[in-house]
């Protein structure tokens, strides 16, 4: 670089310090640097220890929910100690502080859940112990296999695989995208979306910055993936309309094809005995059908489902 050439701006990218979060941060840095022709040292990775990584012996729903993945990063971002933060989109609360926004969603990876320890839901041994701390996974599993027993499983991918190997459960679920990003896809069997509906926002890396930071916003816009944004915004709109929380067993599949979005959603009672489902088709950016789907699901919610959802209005 000659003296009259401008130096690349140095951005501080905040991330949780788990192996998967760091892999997502590395991918974000690579895409950002490629888009702007920077060397990798233009983006500094700043690991931040999240509360959700500190407390592993209780379900998230008991100790603060999804905010435990974001509050430290939010604090650092708000204080200007980092310029942007990277998240697994499914771990981000539906309602976010007005001080922040998402200028970029990276192209969606595999949105499916992977089953670890069995080749399919039907192949899980009778009466098996299934490890998961996700209400959606637990309820959907019990809806299909009421003979199984669910036990709480938390921790990063390596921790959960270690617990499985130690015999704390017979099978568990992990996001296929997470296994792929860690080079461990062979550890699990992806579940078909017809029979097993994934989580809203699963497989997506979300990048956040301060809403008043025009420079960083403009830099991040270069790596935003429009089809992924269309799916994510629709899924998050549904969650907001349903008023779901980290306690709410909800599964959502939203796919953009040929300019139209198709959304399928299922709500469960926590014990899996009750299930309702609905679907809709709509154009990107048109949330009226999403709102109508949410209203229909809430209107049909059974006594075991209704208490776990509430409108945010």
Q: Which one of the listed residues 83, 91, 113, 170 is annotated catalytic?
A: 91
Stretch among 6-15, 92-101, 104-113 having the lowest mean pLDDT: 6-15
pLDDT at 27 over 50: yes
Domains of the chain (ranges, CATH numbers) = 11-106+204-224 (3.40.190.10), 113-190 (3.40.190.10), 236-308 (3.30.160.40)
Mean residue pLDDT across the chain: 90
- State the average pLDDT over residues 254-273: 97
- The backbone torsions φ and ψ at residue 215, rounded to the nearest 5 degrees and listed phi first, read -65, -50
* 275-286 mean pLDDT: 97
Please tell me which residue, 167 or 65, carries the higher pLDDT value: 167
Q: Residue 134's pLDDT is what? A: 92
pTM for the full predicted model: 0.88
pLDDT of residue 249: 95
| pLDDT over 50 at 13, yes or no | yes
Give all strands (DSSP E) within 35-142, no chain letters: 43-48, 84-88, 100-105, 113-116, 129-131
The answer to whether 13 and 44 are in contact (CB under 8 A) is yes
pLDDT classification of 9: cutoffs 50, 70, 90 = low
Query: At 7, is the pLDDT very low, low, confident or very high (cuts 50, 70, 90)?
Result: low
Q: What are the tens digits of pLDDT across the range 198-244?
A: 999 999 999 999 999 999 999 999 999 999 999 999 999 999 999 97
pLDDT classification of 2: cutoffs 50, 70, 90 = very low
Q: What is the pLDDT of residue 50?
A: 60
| Residue 163, H or E segment | helix 157-165
Scan for tokens 């007005």, then name that residue.
98
Give yes or no for residue 73 having a pLDDT over 80. Answer: yes
74 is catalytic: no
Instruction: Tell me which residue of 104, 101, 153, 151 sits closest to 129, measured CA to CA.
Output: 151
**pLDDT for the residue 146:** 98
Which two structure tokens, joined as six digits, stand for 83?
């310029």
Nearest C-alpha neighbor of 18 from the set 79, 74, 91: 91
Percentage, residues of the chain above pLDDT 90: 80
HEC states along 196-252?
CCCCCCCCCEEEEEECCCHHHHHHHHCCCCHHHHHHHHHHHHHHHHHCCCCCCCEEE
Query: What pLDDT, in 10s, does the model give residues 150-173?
Result: 999 878 899 999 999 999 999 999
Give every CB contact of residue 164 below 8 A, 6+ residues apart in sequence. 116, 117, 131, 171, 172
pLDDT of residue 245: 74
311 has a pLDDT exceeding 70: no
The gap between the terminal CA atoms of the chain, to the nearest Å, is 54
**Highest mean pLDDT out of 4-13, 93-102, 271-280:** 271-280
* Count of CA atoms in the C-beta half-sphere (13 A) of 126: 0
Of 230, 239, 186, nearest to 204 by C-alpha is 230
Residue 277 pLDDT: 98
């Amino acid at each position: 670089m000659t003296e009259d050439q401008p130096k690349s701006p140095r951005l501080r990218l905040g991330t949780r310090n788990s192996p998967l979060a760091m892999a997502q941060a590395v991918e974000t840095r690579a895409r950002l640097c490629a888009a702007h022709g920077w060397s990798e040292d233009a983006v500094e990775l700043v690991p931040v220890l999240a509360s959700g990584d500190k407390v592993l012996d209780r379900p998230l729903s008991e100790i603060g929910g999804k905010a435990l993945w974001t509050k430290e990063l939010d604090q650092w971002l708000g204080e200007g100690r980092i310029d942007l933060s990277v998240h697994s989109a499914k771990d981000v609360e539906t309602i976010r502080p007005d001080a922040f926004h998402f200028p970029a969603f990276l192209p969606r990876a595999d949105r499916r859940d992977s089953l670890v320890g069995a080749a399919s839901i039907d192949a899980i041994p009778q009466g098996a112990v299934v490890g998961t701390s996700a209400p959606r996974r637990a309820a959907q599993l019990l809806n299909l296999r009421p003979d199984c027993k669910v036990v709480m499983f938390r921790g990063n991918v390596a921790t959960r695989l270690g617990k499985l190997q130690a015999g704390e459960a017979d099978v568990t679920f992990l996001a296929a995208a997470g296994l792929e990003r860690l080079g461990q896809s062979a550890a699990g069997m992806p579940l078909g979306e017809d029979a097993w509906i994934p989580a809203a926002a699963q497989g997506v890396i979300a990048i956040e910055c301060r809403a008043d930071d025009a420079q960083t916003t403009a830099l991040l816009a270069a790596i935003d993936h429009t089809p992924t944004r269309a799916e994510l915004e629709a899924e998050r709109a549904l969650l907001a309309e349903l008023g779901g929380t980290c306690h709410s067993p909800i599964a959502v599949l939203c796919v953009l094809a040929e300019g139209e979005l198709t959304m399928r959603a299922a709500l469960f009672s926590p014990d899996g005995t009750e299930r309702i489902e609905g679907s809709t088709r709509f154009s990107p950016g048109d949330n009226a059908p999403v709102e109508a789907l949410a209203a229909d699901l809430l209107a049909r919610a059974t006594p075991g489902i209704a208490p776990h959802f509430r409108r945010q209005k």
